[in-house]
Amino acid sequence: MITFTEVSALAVAVEIVVTVFKQRAPGMSLDRMPLFVWSMLVTAFAIILAMPAIMVASTSLILDRLIGTHFFNPSEGGDVLLWQHLFWFFGHPEVYIIFLPAVGMVSTILPTFSRRPVFGYLPLVMSAIATGVLAFGLWVHHMFTTGPSAPR
């Protein structure tokens, strides 16, 4: 079920990216989009990049369990750390996939109800993009205590 859920998440992410780039209101350039739309765009790109890793991991795991492949069985030439790398390459960006839409909502709601324009629009957009990019570089900190893979 995880794999099918991730396929649907990928479809939605592609739909969001296409909608943002192709279906904006006439005259709305990228530098005038609401911050919520920017956060959803960054989130969609993160989903497109992160979800295939968990799809490969879950598919490999179910193949190990159902038909006897040995992707993760070290006694048969598999690698346990492969599971951890695939999972955390998905799992760490997933934290920001959940967090970024909330930041976008707050960044859109606060200026509306305070009746003040957004201060620092460009730095806010750049920070959302930087968060999305850095989320993929940080997955490795979950691997500090694992050590190298066993020699074959």
**How do the pLDDT tens digits run along the chain, 152 residues long?**
778 888 999 999 999 999 999 998 888 999 889 999 999 999 999 999 999 999 999 999 999 889 989 898 888 888 888 888 888 889 889 999 999 999 999 999 999 999 998 889 999 999 999 999 999 888 778 777 776 665 55
pLDDT score at 149: 61
- Report which of 106, 83, 89, 105 is spatially closest to residue 141, judged by C-alpha positions: 89
Count of CA atoms in the C-beta half-sphere (13 A) of 11: 6
Q: Which two tokens stand for residue 58?
A: 């879950």
pLDDT score at 77: 83
pLDDT score at 44: 97
pLDDT score at 146: 73
The residue assigned the tokens 């629009």 is 121
The residue assigned the tokens 């765009």 is 41
- Report which of 101, 86, 87 is spatially closest to residue 131, judged by C-alpha positions: 101
